[in-house]
Amino acid sequence: MLFNSIEFLIFLPIVFLLYWSARRSIRWQNLLIVVASYVFYGWWDWRFLLLIALTSSCSYASGLLLENNEGKRKIQRIVSAVNIVLNLTILAIFKYYNFFVENLDALFGSVFGYHFDWITLDIILPVGISFYTFQALSYTIDVYQKKLPATHDIIEFFAYISFFPQLVAGPIERATNLLPQFQKARHFDYAKATDGLRQMLWGFFKKLVIADNCATIVNGSWDSYHELSGIGLLMVGILFTFQIYCDFSGYSDIAIGCARLFGFNLMRNFDFPYFSRSIPEFWRRWHISLTTWFRDYIYFPLGGSRCDKWKIIRNIFIVWAISGLWHGANWTFVCWGVFHATLLAIYNLAGINTKYKECVAYGRFLPNFKELFQMALTFFLTIIGWIIFRAENMTQAWDYIYCMFTNAPTGGDTFYSWVFYGFLFLIVEWFQRDKQHALQFPDTRLFHSRIVRWSVYYLIFIIIIFSTGTNQTFIYFQF
Protein backbone atom coordinates (compact mmCIF):
# COMPACT_ATOMS: atom_id res chain seq x y z
CA MET A 1 0.00 0.00 0.00
CA LEU A 2 1.37 3.41 -0.94
CA PHE A 3 1.22 6.47 1.30
CA ASN A 4 0.15 8.49 -1.73
CA SER A 5 -2.90 6.35 -2.47
CA ILE A 6 -6.64 6.49 -1.79
CA GLU A 7 -6.38 3.13 -0.01
CA PHE A 8 -4.00 4.59 2.58
CA LEU A 9 -6.23 7.61 3.19
CA ILE A 10 -9.00 5.12 4.10
CA PHE A 11 -6.72 2.67 5.92
CA LEU A 12 -5.04 5.18 8.27
CA PRO A 13 -8.10 6.66 10.06
CA ILE A 14 -9.64 3.19 10.50
CA VAL A 15 -6.47 1.85 12.13
CA PHE A 16 -6.12 5.03 14.17
CA LEU A 17 -9.63 4.75 15.63
CA LEU A 18 -9.33 1.02 16.35
CA TYR A 19 -5.90 1.49 17.91
CA TRP A 20 -6.91 4.17 20.39
CA SER A 21 -10.17 2.40 21.20
CA ALA A 22 -7.95 -0.42 22.56
CA ARG A 23 -5.79 1.98 24.60
CA ARG A 24 -6.37 0.06 27.85
CA SER A 25 -4.51 -2.99 26.56
CA ILE A 26 -0.95 -2.76 25.24
CA ARG A 27 -1.17 -6.31 23.91
CA TRP A 28 -4.32 -5.60 21.90
CA GLN A 29 -2.75 -2.42 20.51
CA ASN A 30 0.38 -4.33 19.51
CA LEU A 31 -1.70 -7.09 17.93
CA LEU A 32 -3.67 -4.50 15.96
CA ILE A 33 -0.41 -2.99 14.72
CA VAL A 34 0.78 -6.42 13.54
CA VAL A 35 -2.50 -7.09 11.70
CA ALA A 36 -2.59 -3.58 10.20
CA SER A 37 1.06 -3.81 9.16
CA TYR A 38 0.55 -7.17 7.45
CA VAL A 39 -2.50 -5.80 5.63
CA PHE A 40 -0.45 -2.73 4.63
CA TYR A 41 2.44 -4.85 3.33
CA GLY A 42 0.33 -7.67 1.86
CA TRP A 43 -1.78 -5.19 -0.12
CA TRP A 44 1.00 -5.20 -2.71
CA ASP A 45 1.61 -8.98 -2.81
CA TRP A 46 0.43 -11.24 0.02
CA ARG A 47 3.02 -13.92 -0.79
CA PHE A 48 5.84 -11.77 0.58
CA LEU A 49 4.21 -11.81 3.99
CA LEU A 50 5.79 -15.26 4.35
CA LEU A 51 9.25 -13.69 4.02
CA ILE A 52 8.75 -11.02 6.65
CA ALA A 53 7.15 -13.60 8.95
CA LEU A 54 10.16 -15.91 8.46
CA THR A 55 12.62 -13.08 9.17
CA SER A 56 10.65 -12.10 12.28
CA SER A 57 10.36 -15.67 13.57
CA CYS A 58 14.05 -16.49 13.13
CA SER A 59 15.20 -13.26 14.76
CA TYR A 60 12.75 -13.68 17.64
CA ALA A 61 13.97 -17.26 18.22
CA SER A 62 17.61 -16.17 18.02
CA GLY A 63 17.02 -13.67 20.84
CA LEU A 64 15.56 -16.36 23.09
CA LEU A 65 18.43 -18.76 22.29
CA LEU A 66 20.97 -16.06 23.07
CA GLU A 67 19.30 -15.45 26.41
CA ASN A 68 19.02 -19.15 27.25
CA ASN A 69 22.74 -19.61 26.59
CA GLU A 70 23.89 -16.71 28.74
CA GLY A 71 27.58 -17.11 29.57
CA LYS A 72 28.16 -19.61 26.74
CA ARG A 73 29.76 -17.20 24.28
CA LYS A 74 30.69 -19.88 21.74
CA ILE A 75 27.08 -21.04 21.42
CA GLN A 76 25.88 -17.44 21.37
CA ARG A 77 28.29 -16.63 18.53
CA ILE A 78 26.96 -19.59 16.56
CA VAL A 79 23.33 -18.60 17.15
CA SER A 80 24.00 -15.00 16.20
CA ALA A 81 26.00 -15.99 13.11
CA VAL A 82 23.37 -18.48 11.92
CA ASN A 83 20.59 -15.90 12.16
CA ILE A 84 22.67 -13.21 10.43
CA VAL A 85 23.68 -15.58 7.62
CA LEU A 86 20.09 -16.78 7.19
CA ASN A 87 18.70 -13.26 6.90
CA LEU A 88 21.47 -12.11 4.58
CA THR A 89 21.00 -15.22 2.43
CA ILE A 90 17.32 -14.44 1.95
CA LEU A 91 18.24 -10.87 1.04
CA ALA A 92 20.99 -12.02 -1.32
CA ILE A 93 18.77 -14.51 -3.17
CA PHE A 94 16.03 -12.00 -3.86
CA LYS A 95 18.20 -8.97 -4.47
CA TYR A 96 21.61 -10.08 -5.72
CA TYR A 97 21.46 -13.63 -7.10
CA ASN A 98 21.00 -12.69 -10.76
CA PHE A 99 23.53 -9.84 -10.44
CA PHE A 100 26.30 -12.12 -9.19
CA VAL A 101 25.43 -14.93 -11.60
CA GLU A 102 25.51 -12.62 -14.63
CA ASN A 103 28.78 -10.98 -13.58
CA LEU A 104 30.46 -14.30 -12.80
CA ASP A 105 29.39 -15.62 -16.18
CA ALA A 106 30.74 -12.48 -17.88
CA LEU A 107 34.05 -12.87 -16.02
CA PHE A 108 34.49 -16.49 -17.08
CA GLY A 109 33.50 -15.58 -20.63
CA SER A 110 36.05 -12.78 -20.93
CA VAL A 111 38.92 -14.66 -19.23
CA PHE A 112 38.42 -18.24 -20.43
CA GLY A 113 36.10 -17.75 -23.39
CA TYR A 114 33.62 -20.14 -21.82
CA HIS A 115 30.05 -19.40 -20.78
CA PHE A 116 28.15 -21.46 -18.28
CA ASP A 117 24.51 -22.28 -18.80
CA TRP A 118 23.50 -20.36 -15.71
CA ILE A 119 19.98 -20.50 -14.38
CA THR A 120 18.70 -17.09 -13.39
CA LEU A 121 15.73 -16.57 -11.12
CA ASP A 122 12.66 -14.81 -12.44
CA ILE A 123 11.65 -13.25 -9.12
CA ILE A 124 10.30 -9.90 -7.95
CA LEU A 125 12.27 -7.94 -5.39
CA PRO A 126 10.09 -7.69 -2.26
CA VAL A 127 9.47 -4.06 -1.31
CA GLY A 128 11.39 -2.99 1.78
CA ILE A 129 13.31 -6.24 2.24
CA SER A 130 16.61 -4.39 2.79
CA PHE A 131 15.02 -2.19 5.45
CA TYR A 132 13.29 -4.79 7.60
CA THR A 133 16.22 -7.23 7.23
CA PHE A 134 18.62 -4.65 8.68
CA GLN A 135 16.13 -3.91 11.44
CA ALA A 136 15.97 -7.61 12.33
CA LEU A 137 19.77 -7.91 12.24
CA SER A 138 20.16 -4.98 14.64
CA TYR A 139 18.02 -6.82 17.20
CA THR A 140 20.12 -9.99 17.10
CA ILE A 141 23.38 -8.04 17.28
CA ASP A 142 22.17 -5.82 20.12
CA VAL A 143 20.97 -8.80 22.17
CA TYR A 144 24.28 -10.58 21.54
CA GLN A 145 26.18 -7.45 22.65
CA LYS A 146 23.92 -7.15 25.74
CA LYS A 147 22.61 -3.74 24.72
CA LEU A 148 19.06 -4.92 25.46
CA PRO A 149 17.39 -8.07 26.82
CA ALA A 150 15.65 -10.54 24.53
CA THR A 151 11.92 -10.04 24.27
CA HIS A 152 9.60 -12.91 25.20
CA ASP A 153 6.48 -11.37 23.71
CA ILE A 154 6.27 -12.52 20.09
CA ILE A 155 3.48 -10.04 19.28
CA GLU A 156 5.51 -6.99 20.30
CA PHE A 157 8.49 -8.34 18.38
CA PHE A 158 6.47 -8.88 15.20
CA ALA A 159 5.08 -5.36 15.66
CA TYR A 160 8.65 -4.02 15.94
CA ILE A 161 9.74 -5.65 12.67
CA SER A 162 6.58 -4.89 10.69
CA PHE A 163 5.51 -1.46 12.05
CA PHE A 164 3.76 -0.17 8.94
CA PRO A 165 4.77 3.54 8.92
CA GLN A 166 8.44 2.69 8.43
CA LEU A 167 8.19 -0.86 7.11
CA VAL A 168 9.07 -0.45 3.44
CA ALA A 169 11.48 2.52 3.34
CA GLY A 170 12.60 3.28 6.86
CA PRO A 171 13.80 4.89 8.98
CA ILE A 172 15.70 1.70 9.87
CA GLU A 173 14.92 1.57 13.56
CA ARG A 174 17.12 0.09 16.26
CA ALA A 175 15.65 -2.40 18.66
CA THR A 176 17.09 -0.33 21.52
CA ASN A 177 14.87 2.62 20.50
CA LEU A 178 11.66 1.17 19.04
CA LEU A 179 11.15 -2.17 20.79
CA PRO A 180 10.87 -0.69 24.33
CA GLN A 181 8.11 1.60 23.02
CA PHE A 182 5.98 -1.50 22.29
CA GLN A 183 6.54 -2.67 25.87
CA LYS A 184 5.01 0.30 27.68
CA ALA A 185 1.62 1.98 27.66
CA ARG A 186 1.01 4.67 25.06
CA HIS A 187 -1.27 7.59 25.81
CA PHE A 188 -2.77 9.83 23.19
CA ASP A 189 -0.91 13.15 23.09
CA TYR A 190 -2.79 15.83 21.18
CA ALA A 191 0.28 18.04 20.70
CA LYS A 192 2.36 15.12 19.44
CA ALA A 193 -0.42 13.99 17.10
CA THR A 194 -0.98 17.44 15.59
CA ASP A 195 2.75 17.90 15.06
CA GLY A 196 2.79 14.47 13.41
CA LEU A 197 0.04 15.60 11.03
CA ARG A 198 2.03 18.73 10.18
CA GLN A 199 5.10 16.63 9.42
CA MET A 200 3.00 14.30 7.26
CA LEU A 201 1.57 17.29 5.35
CA TRP A 202 5.07 18.58 4.65
CA GLY A 203 6.14 15.09 3.59
CA PHE A 204 3.24 14.83 1.14
CA PHE A 205 4.12 18.28 -0.23
CA LYS A 206 7.73 17.24 -0.82
CA LYS A 207 6.72 13.96 -2.47
CA LEU A 208 3.69 14.96 -4.56
CA VAL A 209 4.63 18.51 -5.54
CA ILE A 210 8.44 18.62 -5.69
CA ALA A 211 9.60 15.03 -6.24
CA ASP A 212 6.89 13.86 -8.66
CA ASN A 213 7.11 16.97 -10.83
CA CYS A 214 10.91 16.74 -10.92
CA ALA A 215 10.59 13.04 -11.81
CA THR A 216 8.42 13.86 -14.83
CA ILE A 217 11.12 16.17 -16.22
CA VAL A 218 14.08 13.98 -15.29
CA ASN A 219 12.55 10.80 -16.73
CA GLY A 220 11.53 12.61 -19.91
CA SER A 221 15.00 14.09 -20.41
CA TRP A 222 17.32 11.31 -19.31
CA ASP A 223 17.00 9.05 -22.35
CA SER A 224 17.74 11.95 -24.72
CA TYR A 225 20.47 13.61 -22.66
CA HIS A 226 22.81 13.81 -25.70
CA GLU A 227 20.51 16.45 -27.18
CA LEU A 228 20.82 18.77 -24.18
CA SER A 229 23.39 21.47 -23.59
CA GLY A 230 25.88 21.21 -20.76
CA ILE A 231 23.87 23.65 -18.65
CA GLY A 232 20.69 21.70 -19.48
CA LEU A 233 22.31 18.50 -18.26
CA LEU A 234 23.35 20.29 -15.08
CA MET A 235 19.76 21.46 -14.62
CA VAL A 236 18.47 17.89 -15.01
CA GLY A 237 21.09 16.75 -12.49
CA ILE A 238 19.91 19.41 -10.05
CA LEU A 239 16.28 18.38 -10.57
CA PHE A 240 17.15 14.75 -9.80
CA THR A 241 18.99 15.98 -6.72
CA PHE A 242 15.76 17.67 -5.60
CA GLN A 243 13.71 14.64 -6.66
CA ILE A 244 15.57 12.02 -4.66
CA TYR A 245 15.75 14.23 -1.57
CA CYS A 246 12.09 15.23 -1.58
CA ASP A 247 11.00 11.70 -2.49
CA PHE A 248 12.93 9.94 0.26
CA SER A 249 12.83 12.58 2.99
CA GLY A 250 9.15 13.09 2.14
CA TYR A 251 8.55 9.39 2.83
CA SER A 252 10.49 9.67 6.09
CA ASP A 253 8.45 12.72 7.15
CA ILE A 254 5.20 10.85 6.46
CA ALA A 255 6.47 7.77 8.32
CA ILE A 256 7.70 9.69 11.37
CA GLY A 257 4.57 11.84 11.49
CA CYS A 258 2.31 8.80 11.08
CA ALA A 259 4.11 6.97 13.90
CA ARG A 260 3.55 9.95 16.19
CA LEU A 261 -0.21 9.57 15.67
CA PHE A 262 0.13 6.21 17.41
CA GLY A 263 2.37 7.47 20.21
CA PHE A 264 5.72 6.31 18.78
CA ASN A 265 8.91 8.30 18.26
CA LEU A 266 10.98 7.19 15.27
CA MET A 267 14.52 8.37 14.79
CA ARG A 268 15.17 11.36 12.56
CA ASN A 269 16.27 10.32 9.08
CA PHE A 270 17.11 13.64 7.38
CA ASP A 271 18.51 16.84 8.86
CA PHE A 272 18.44 19.34 5.95
CA PRO A 273 21.43 17.68 4.22
CA TYR A 274 21.71 20.13 1.31
CA PHE A 275 22.89 22.81 3.74
CA SER A 276 25.96 20.74 4.57
CA ARG A 277 29.41 22.33 4.35
CA SER A 278 31.27 19.11 3.62
CA ILE A 279 30.62 15.58 2.42
CA PRO A 280 31.16 14.11 5.94
CA GLU A 281 28.54 16.54 7.26
CA PHE A 282 26.23 15.61 4.37
CA TRP A 283 26.36 11.95 5.41
CA ARG A 284 25.64 12.86 9.01
CA ARG A 285 22.45 14.50 7.75
CA TRP A 286 21.31 12.17 4.91
CA HIS A 287 19.55 8.84 5.55
CA ILE A 288 20.78 8.99 9.13
CA SER A 289 19.26 5.65 10.11
CA LEU A 290 21.26 3.80 7.44
CA THR A 291 24.57 5.65 7.81
CA THR A 292 24.53 5.15 11.59
CA TRP A 293 23.62 1.47 11.07
CA PHE A 294 26.71 0.97 8.90
CA ARG A 295 28.78 3.00 11.35
CA ASP A 296 27.76 0.98 14.40
CA TYR A 297 27.62 -2.53 12.91
CA ILE A 298 30.37 -2.46 10.28
CA TYR A 299 32.64 0.60 10.59
CA PHE A 300 33.22 0.42 14.36
CA PRO A 301 33.81 -3.39 14.41
CA LEU A 302 36.43 -2.88 11.66
CA GLY A 303 38.24 -0.47 13.97
CA GLY A 304 36.45 2.73 13.03
CA SER A 305 38.65 5.77 13.50
CA ARG A 306 40.65 4.23 16.35
CA CYS A 307 43.41 2.96 14.07
CA ASP A 308 46.03 4.49 11.78
CA LYS A 309 45.05 6.68 8.82
CA TRP A 310 45.36 4.02 6.11
CA LYS A 311 43.23 1.53 8.02
CA ILE A 312 40.64 4.27 8.52
CA ILE A 313 40.63 4.83 4.74
CA ARG A 314 40.31 1.07 4.22
CA ASN A 315 37.35 0.96 6.59
CA ILE A 316 35.68 3.86 4.77
CA PHE A 317 35.98 2.12 1.40
CA ILE A 318 34.68 -1.19 2.76
CA VAL A 319 31.66 0.46 4.35
CA TRP A 320 30.80 2.55 1.30
CA ALA A 321 31.25 -0.27 -1.18
CA ILE A 322 28.78 -2.28 0.93
CA SER A 323 26.51 0.76 1.21
CA GLY A 324 26.50 1.14 -2.56
CA LEU A 325 25.69 -2.53 -3.05
CA TRP A 326 22.92 -2.28 -0.42
CA HIS A 327 21.18 0.26 -2.66
CA GLY A 328 20.89 -2.14 -5.56
CA ALA A 329 22.37 -4.88 -7.74
CA ASN A 330 24.08 -2.58 -10.23
CA TRP A 331 27.66 -1.40 -10.63
CA THR A 332 26.43 2.21 -10.69
CA PHE A 333 25.48 1.91 -7.03
CA VAL A 334 28.85 0.37 -6.12
CA CYS A 335 30.69 3.12 -8.01
CA TRP A 336 28.49 5.73 -6.34
CA GLY A 337 29.56 4.29 -2.99
CA VAL A 338 33.24 4.30 -4.00
CA PHE A 339 32.86 7.90 -5.26
CA HIS A 340 31.65 9.04 -1.85
CA ALA A 341 34.25 6.88 -0.09
CA THR A 342 36.93 8.71 -2.08
CA LEU A 343 35.52 12.09 -1.08
CA LEU A 344 35.24 11.02 2.57
CA ALA A 345 38.83 9.76 2.49
CA ILE A 346 40.03 13.11 1.13
CA TYR A 347 38.16 15.01 3.81
CA ASN A 348 39.49 12.63 6.45
CA LEU A 349 43.08 13.07 5.30
CA ALA A 350 42.52 16.83 5.36
CA GLY A 351 41.46 16.53 9.00
CA ILE A 352 37.95 18.00 8.67
CA ASN A 353 35.93 14.80 9.12
CA THR A 354 34.54 15.74 12.52
CA LYS A 355 33.74 19.43 11.94
CA TYR A 356 30.38 21.13 11.52
CA LYS A 357 28.09 19.42 14.00
CA GLU A 358 25.88 22.50 14.41
CA CYS A 359 23.59 23.58 11.59
CA VAL A 360 25.12 26.11 9.21
CA ALA A 361 24.94 29.79 10.24
CA TYR A 362 23.60 28.78 13.65
CA GLY A 363 21.99 31.80 15.29
CA ARG A 364 22.46 33.89 12.15
CA PHE A 365 20.10 34.85 9.34
CA LEU A 366 22.52 34.25 6.45
CA PRO A 367 25.72 32.23 5.93
CA ASN A 368 29.02 33.98 5.41
CA PHE A 369 30.90 33.74 2.10
CA LYS A 370 33.02 30.78 3.24
CA GLU A 371 29.95 28.80 4.32
CA LEU A 372 28.15 29.66 1.08
CA PHE A 373 31.11 28.40 -0.96
CA GLN A 374 31.36 25.22 1.12
CA MET A 375 27.63 24.50 0.68
CA ALA A 376 27.82 25.15 -3.07
CA LEU A 377 30.82 22.82 -3.46
CA THR A 378 29.18 20.07 -1.38
CA PHE A 379 25.93 20.45 -3.32
CA PHE A 380 27.81 20.16 -6.64
CA LEU A 381 29.67 17.04 -5.50
CA THR A 382 26.39 15.43 -4.44
CA ILE A 383 24.95 16.22 -7.89
CA ILE A 384 27.82 14.31 -9.52
CA GLY A 385 27.17 11.42 -7.17
CA TRP A 386 23.44 11.40 -7.90
CA ILE A 387 24.11 11.34 -11.65
CA ILE A 388 26.14 8.15 -11.14
CA PHE A 389 23.37 6.82 -8.90
CA ARG A 390 20.63 7.58 -11.48
CA ALA A 391 22.46 6.22 -14.53
CA GLU A 392 21.53 2.82 -15.96
CA ASN A 393 25.18 1.80 -16.27
CA MET A 394 28.62 3.30 -15.77
CA THR A 395 29.08 4.02 -19.48
CA GLN A 396 26.01 6.24 -19.40
CA ALA A 397 27.12 7.86 -16.13
CA TRP A 398 30.54 8.87 -17.46
CA ASP A 399 29.10 9.97 -20.79
CA TYR A 400 26.45 12.12 -19.05
CA ILE A 401 29.07 13.83 -16.88
CA TYR A 402 31.36 14.33 -19.90
CA CYS A 403 28.54 15.89 -21.93
CA MET A 404 27.61 18.10 -18.98
CA PHE A 405 31.07 19.70 -19.15
CA THR A 406 31.46 19.74 -22.94
CA ASN A 407 28.09 20.13 -24.71
CA ALA A 408 27.60 23.57 -26.22
CA PRO A 409 24.55 25.73 -25.41
CA THR A 410 21.50 24.96 -27.55
CA GLY A 411 18.99 27.55 -26.40
CA GLY A 412 16.28 24.91 -26.12
CA ASP A 413 16.51 24.05 -22.42
CA THR A 414 13.27 24.59 -20.50
CA PHE A 415 14.16 23.49 -16.98
CA TYR A 416 15.12 26.80 -15.41
CA SER A 417 11.74 27.58 -13.89
CA TRP A 418 11.55 24.22 -12.11
CA VAL A 419 15.09 24.62 -10.78
CA PHE A 420 14.04 28.05 -9.52
CA TYR A 421 11.04 26.51 -7.73
CA GLY A 422 13.36 23.92 -6.22
CA PHE A 423 15.59 26.60 -4.76
CA LEU A 424 12.52 28.44 -3.42
CA PHE A 425 11.71 25.21 -1.58
CA LEU A 426 15.24 25.17 -0.15
CA ILE A 427 14.79 28.76 1.04
CA VAL A 428 11.74 27.65 3.04
CA GLU A 429 13.77 24.83 4.58
CA TRP A 430 16.65 27.24 5.27
CA PHE A 431 14.53 29.26 7.69
CA GLN A 432 13.52 26.05 9.49
CA ARG A 433 16.93 24.35 9.43
CA ASP A 434 17.16 24.22 13.23
CA LYS A 435 13.75 22.50 13.51
CA GLN A 436 12.69 18.87 13.14
CA HIS A 437 10.70 19.69 10.00
CA ALA A 438 9.70 22.75 7.98
CA LEU A 439 6.18 23.02 9.44
CA GLN A 440 7.39 23.10 13.03
CA PHE A 441 6.58 26.76 13.46
CA PRO A 442 8.85 29.08 15.45
CA ASP A 443 7.63 30.31 18.81
CA THR A 444 6.69 33.84 17.71
CA ARG A 445 3.59 35.94 18.11
CA LEU A 446 2.79 35.60 14.40
CA PHE A 447 2.53 31.80 14.50
CA HIS A 448 0.56 31.80 17.75
CA SER A 449 -2.35 32.90 15.61
CA ARG A 450 -4.52 29.95 14.60
CA ILE A 451 -5.62 31.88 11.49
CA VAL A 452 -2.01 32.17 10.29
CA ARG A 453 -1.23 28.51 10.97
CA TRP A 454 -4.34 27.19 9.26
CA SER A 455 -3.81 29.55 6.33
CA VAL A 456 -0.40 27.93 5.82
CA TYR A 457 -1.93 24.44 6.02
CA TYR A 458 -4.67 25.26 3.51
CA LEU A 459 -2.19 26.92 1.15
CA ILE A 460 0.03 23.82 1.15
CA PHE A 461 -2.99 21.57 0.71
CA ILE A 462 -4.22 23.62 -2.27
CA ILE A 463 -0.75 23.52 -3.84
CA ILE A 464 -0.70 19.73 -3.42
CA ILE A 465 -4.12 19.41 -5.08
CA PHE A 466 -3.40 21.65 -8.05
CA SER A 467 0.34 21.13 -8.58
CA THR A 468 0.64 17.37 -8.29
CA GLY A 469 2.50 15.75 -11.18
CA THR A 470 2.23 12.22 -12.48
CA ASN A 471 1.97 9.83 -9.53
CA GLN A 472 5.38 8.20 -9.01
CA THR A 473 6.39 5.26 -6.83
CA PHE A 474 8.77 6.16 -4.01
CA ILE A 475 12.35 5.78 -5.29
CA TYR A 476 13.59 3.82 -2.27
CA PHE A 477 10.94 1.12 -2.72
CA GLN A 478 13.39 -0.52 -5.15
CA PHE A 479 15.99 -0.88 -2.42
Q: Where are the domains of the chain?
A: 6-187, 199-277+356-478
Dihedral sign, Cα of residue 387, residue 389, residue 390, residue 391: positive
In 3D, which of 1, 425, 3, 45 has the Cα closest to residue 256? 3
Whole-model pTM: value is 0.91
Q: What is the pLDDT of residues 4-58, one digit of tens each?
A: 888 999 999 999 999 999 888 899 999 999 999 999 999 888 888 999 999 999 9
Phi and psi dihedrals of 471, rounded to 5? -60, 120
Is the model more confident about 377 or about 448? 377
The pLDDT value given to residue 52: 93
| pLDDT value at 165 more than 70 | yes
What gap in Å lies between CA 380 and CA 361, rounded to an integer? 20
Q: Which of 115, 152, 226, 327 is catalytic?
A: 327
Q: Are 76 and 154 in contact (CB under 8 A)?
A: no
437 is catalytic: no
- Give residue 478's pLDDT: 66
Q: pLDDT of 184-235, one tens digit each? A: 989 899 989 999 999 999 999 999 889 988 888 898 888 888 888 888 899 9
Task: Answer with the residue of higher pLDDT: 417 or 301.
Answer: 301
Looking at residue 378, what is its pLDDT?
Answer: 94
Instruction: Assign 112 a pLDDT band (cuts: 50, 70, 90).
Output: low
Contact present, 33 and 164 (Cβ < 8 Å): yes
Distance CA(393)–CA(43), nearest Å, equals: 32
User: Does 477 score more than 80 pLDDT?
Assistant: no
